[in-house]
Structure 1
Amino acid sequence: MIGDAPLYAFDHDRLLKAAARVVAEREAGYPQLVTEGKLTEQAAADGIRAARAIAADWQRIVDLGAGRAAEPLDNSATREEKRAVLVHVAGRCQRKLQATRDALHRALNDDCLRAIEADVMTREALHEAWKRRWPGYDLGEIGLFLAAEQRAWAADAMLWHIDLTPSAMFYAELNAEWRAGRRASEAA
């Protein structure tokens, strides 16, 4: 199972940041969805609560992994509620990734077609076209694609972790208990 781990599966700091971003997006976006009638107040509150619980889990995992004191376990959302949030987030990230991939391909195709029309299909000509399109290494569509790709990978990794038994939380707590026992024995 560990060999099939998605990219970022063991980058807990990155997953914590991704979970915090999900909370921020829901807190910022859900009120508008409620106002537009696209989401009920209860569904919005449940979604935010579950997202906060996921972020709290990752904060605890990161803190325990770093040997820091951690907040008590957040049981405000069930595993099923957390999984539903992660399935939704992973699906949304995959759709965004596909849209940005399509935009990038269109941009690349346009640049290549212009180079072909000008009959300058050389590496240098394409490089110059790219420099004109994204001056000063402003990545444009590529940057959007890479950001979407990283978000999709983080969502996949969090979803993978929610289905993993034993969980990352189990190992973080076990490691913290071992360190605490070791410190106590060294102090004695």
Structure 2
Amino acid sequence: MIARVHSATVVGMQVLAVVVEVDIAKKGFPQLKIVGLPGKSVEEAKERVRTALVNANYDIPARRIIVNLAPADVPKQSSRFDVPIAVGILAAQRIVPRELLRDSLFIGEISLNGEVNAVNSVLPIIDFAQKHGYKRIFVPFNNCSEAAFVHGDIAIYGMQSLAEIIKFSQGIVQLSPVDTAQLEVRVRKTNQQ
């Protein structure tokens, strides 16, 4: 069964939706293949994701795994697809519940030890997610201060590691959304002094 994870990319001044589709075939030579006009940094995600999953004590199955970044005609040039690719592989194995994926958008780079690293263009992507009806967006923890500037109905979660994402999705740990009201109070107090 195909797992679908929502993400986004920035092309020029425009944010575009990207759906990361992951299929783990029952037959075929074991490999991880990324299609859909991936750039060099996205191609390199294969090794980052594979190593991060192993270091988080999750194995990539010894099967043919196809990752499609749709739409195929839009270039994908950023490591921000690492997290959605990893989450898609885990969802295809039913480790991450697919219910979490329906109204969520994921972005973030994964280090080899499974930590989630900050990425560029978080603010416009959060704005895009909010305007397109997503209920949740998962961003790198180190992007939370930037993410907190977006006000509205979207819940923004800061991720520190791949293991944290997995445990949150399974209900093992609780994550609180970024508190934009706290940031607003701090900004207001600073401006009033």
TM over 0.5: no
Normalized per residue, which structure has more strand? 2
TM-score in terms of structure 2 length: 0.26
Normalized per residue, which structure has more helix? 1
